[in-house]
Amino acid sequence: MHTINKETLAFLKDLREHNDRDWFTKNKPRYELAKDNVKSFTNELMKLLNDHDHIESAKVFRIYRDVRFSKDKTPYKTNIGCGFTRATEKLRGGLYLNIEPGNTFVGGGFWGPNASDLKRIRNEFLFNADPFRKIITSKKFKEYFGTLKGDELKTAPKGFDKQHPNIDLIRKKQFLIGRDFTDKEMLSKDFLNECNETFKAMRPFFDFMSETLTTNENGESII
């Protein structure tokens, strides 16, 4: 059974208390074990995801922070993040797993859509947001994710009527969904399956976005 080890959690907790190079150098073997643990978990999760999605690759992100333009000069992240890349041009959106004491979550969506993608999504909502609203108000969506998250404009984007009935969606700059897990849940033997089921529950959201972003406003394929 693939699980996140309690030693991985303990290392990340200790790193939060001792975020400096000397401590990290002395504890590098603990980091390597934690990284290998998460990598093994991620690879097993990728196999499960490919039963209901098409995942091209999985990646465990570097723990070293880029501090060049940050006021926070601590050299290391206190989480281990994992990203999953969906395959083919038809499958849009990113999947993410965050392992972190007190802040473990499974997430997905569109963190920084480019200008053309964002305009296409907004134009879809300008025309009709009913199918999307049905997805994000469904019982299963609410059970797993609560509400749609992401940064948004304070007013209507340029060229859009601020009185439009779908302006709450049109104002969004990001489209993110996620589910939080406690440390106890993250260490449990059921965590792998719960991650898989959570990603599976994202599919209606991703399917809507993928269809929107791979067609024009007449519903014709652009890829």
Tens-place pLDDT, residues 191-223: 999 999 999 999 999 999 999 999 998 888 998
**DSSP label of 83:** E
How far apart are alpha carbons 13 and 4 in whole angstroms?
14
Kindly report the CATH class assigned to 6-213.
Answer: alpha beta
- Burial of residue 108 (CB within 10 Å: 0-12, 13-18, 19+) is buried
Tens-place pLDDT, residues 81-95: 999 999 989 999 999
Q: What is the pTM of this model?
A: 0.94
For the chain, the domains span 6-213
How far apart are alpha carbons 211 and 217 in whole angstroms?
11
How far apart are alpha carbons 152 and 172 in whole angstroms?
4
Tens-place pLDDT, residues 109-166: 999 999 999 999 999 999 999 999 999 999 999 999 999 999 999 999 999 999 999 9
- Say if residues 198 and 178 touch (Cβ distance below 8 Å): no
For residue 175, the SS3 value is: strand
